[in-house]
Amino acid sequence: MRNLYNKLFWLTASLFVWAACVDDYTEYNGVHALDAPTLRVSASGANQSLLAVPVNQYQKSFNAYVGLGTPVEFTISVIDAPGKVSSVSVTPSVPEFGTVTLDEASVTALKGKEIGDFRFVYTPNPNLVEGDDRPLNIVVTVTDGQEGDNSKTTTLSIATIVGSPCFSQTLKVGNYLVTQASGNRDGGIPYTLDSLQLALRSRVVVSIAEERPGVYTMTEVTGGVWPVYYSGRAVPELQVNVCGNTITSRTGYATTSPGTAVARTFAINGTVNNDNTVDITWSYVRDDGATPIDPAKGSYKLNLIRLGM
């Protein structure tokens, strides 16, 4: 019996010492820090913003495109917050371009949880007009509720462009061959595709690059006329808007002839066809008001020959 009491005594003492060591270790080293929150973003609205899909689970930046005049609702998904959500904030880097309104009910419902969503609405400034894109960052921060210095914050940056209301990607990027062309140069003198190719001693190629969804840059918008008949002037390269299958020139873009102060503004209209062809009409005016009588203009068809740039 004495041996049994001895064993119980030493077992109890050992447990007391072990518990004391655990308390001392925890007090000295602190609570183990948990991982920071992991976030994702999506958006919806009447003008459906486009968002870059993250390449991996650690990506913390996204791209968004917001059209003028229509608010867009963003949803931030907390897919893992081991320390439980304590607070959130959303701040636009350029307040003049638009405002952010938090859905407070969704924020309140998320607090204290490891998984969930909250929402906010970005509303473009109604006084903005068509023209250049307005870039800004919408900065989202989510902080967890870990004790003391263990609290973690995740910052997600949404690189946002406020611009034209269309973000179509129907126009393929690549090199196009001019397969039809007709019109006139300054003074009403006609030209044909054969005359352009004979002068160039080659086929006419136009390249198209994407600046962002809905905005593209076209090299040589006259379909060969400028390089052939006006080689002393700057070759007109133009940014265009694409909305659905319709192409229009962006306002405020002009070319200037080398060595002169004469600027010319080019305008185009076009259609993206389902067979990888594009129909374009073009014209120009001199910005100084001295546009010649019957100025150069025309139309041409592009046929995609190589994707990419």
**For 133-144, how does the pLDDT look when each residue is reduced to its tens digit (9 = 90+)?**
899 999 999 999
- Name which of 121-130, 208-217, 231-240 the model is least confident about: 231-240
Q: Is 309 exposed, middle or buried (0-12, 13-18, 19+ CB in 10 A)?
A: exposed
Q: Three-class SS of residue 244?
A: coil
**For 63-97, how does the pLDDT look when each residue is reduced to its tens digit (9 = 90+)?**
888 888 888 899 999 999 999 999 999 999 999 99
Per-residue model confidence (pLDDT) at position 54: 56
Strands 153-163, 61-67: parallel, antiparallel or unpaired by DSSP?
parallel
Mean pLDDT of 95-115: 96
Half-sphere exposure of 8 (CA within 13 A, CB side): 5
Backbone angles phi, psi at 296, to 5 degrees: -60, 140
Bridge partner residues of 85 (DSSP): 144
Residue that the structure tokens 């066809």 belong to: 273
Per-residue model confidence (pLDDT) at position 138: 94
Mean pLDDT of 205-216: 91
Angle (CA) 279 284 306, round 5° = 35
- Torsion angle of alpha carbons 251, 124, 160, 110, nearest 10°? -170
Per-residue model confidence (pLDDT) at position 120: 95
Q: Bigger pLDDT: 303 or 51? A: 303
From the CA atom positions of the chain, what is the Rg in Å?
A: 31
Backbone angles phi, psi at 2, to 5 degrees: -60, -40
- Name which of 19-33, 42-56, 224-238, 244-258 the model is least confident about: 19-33
The tokens for 64 are 């968004």
Long-range contacts of 25-33 (CB under 8 A, 24+ apart): 30/148, 30/149, 30/150, 31/146, 31/147, 31/148, 31/150, 33/146, 33/150, 33/152
Q: Does the pLDDT of residue 154 top 50, yes or no? A: yes
Kindly list the structural domains of the chain, giving each domain's residue range(s) and its CATH number in brackets, ordered by start.
38-163 (2.60.40), 174-307 (2.40.160)
Strands 277-286, 263-272: parallel, antiparallel or unpaired by DSSP?
antiparallel
Per-residue model confidence (pLDDT) at position 236: 86
Q: Where do the DSSP E strands lie in 164-262?
A: 174-185, 189-192, 205-212, 215-218, 238-243, 246-249, 255-256
Strands 98-102, 189-192: parallel, antiparallel or unpaired by DSSP?
unpaired
pTM: 0.72
Q: Bigger pLDDT: 269 or 18? A: 269
